[in-house]
Amino acid sequence: MDRGEADNMNADRREMTDTCLIVSGGPTDRKFAAEFVKNRKYPYVIAVDAGLAVCEELGLVPDLAVGDFDTFGLERMEELKKEEGWATDVHKPEKDETDTDLAVRSALRAGFHTAHVLGATGGRLDHELSNIHLMRAAKDAGLFMEIYDAKNRIFLLTPDDEEHSFFLKDRIYGKYVSFLPLTETVLGITLDGFKYLLHNKDISILEDPSLCVSNEIPGERAKITFRKGILICVESRD
């Protein structure tokens, strides 16, 4: 293991102290998920309905299972709960919140500042979009969500978020970095150190929504700054 890999692993282990894992009920590549959790030691794991099946296959024992369990099965959940002894937060299928929304609320009540989320993409598009929008409400409430799948890491950026505005080439999730407007307009985008540079550029959902898609980092690091708005950041690989 080289120094960069060791630093990455140590960073993962440090951040786990205030980071929980949410395993949502969408499609999850099991090989990817197993590799993802292998070197990450989470102090708290929330399984969301069908996410229990993923936890079961990966040997992850959740601290809390949340949802209506219309997919995993309520009886099956109760049997597994008796064996493993975790807590549950069971809801009726007819409710105002999605199961992932309920899990995020549980993470906030438990006092976590960051949540890594698996199983939030790749299935029903309405749920996927809802999960991306949910990142905004979570961030406003004090929880930084990062959605992961085999090809993408997704999170939100605000102008005051200096911690996540720097990108190291050997730490990003893949080759590409994209910025998409979540708010109608995002003002004053400046991209330094990227392959495609910008200076004080305004973008909007109505004009230039794809201007900042598929950028790359040719050197060691890059940085984004902007004055107003919220961006969806997607680090991705082929």
- Note the pLDDT tens digit of each residue in 180-215: 999 999 999 999 999 999 999 999 999 889 999 999
Residue pair 117/148 in contact (Cβ under 8 Å)? The answer is yes
Q: Which residues pair with 114 in a beta bridge?
A: 19, 144
**Residue 145, pLDDT score:** 98
β-bridge pairing 87-90 and 64-67: parallel
This prediction's pTM: 0.90
Amino acid in the structure at residue 194:
F
The 10s digit of each residue's pLDDT in 84-132 is 888 888 888 888 889 999 999 999 999 999 999 999 999 999 999 999 9
Residue ranges and CATH numbers for the domains of the chain are 3-150 (3.40.50.10240), 156-236 (3.40.50.10240)
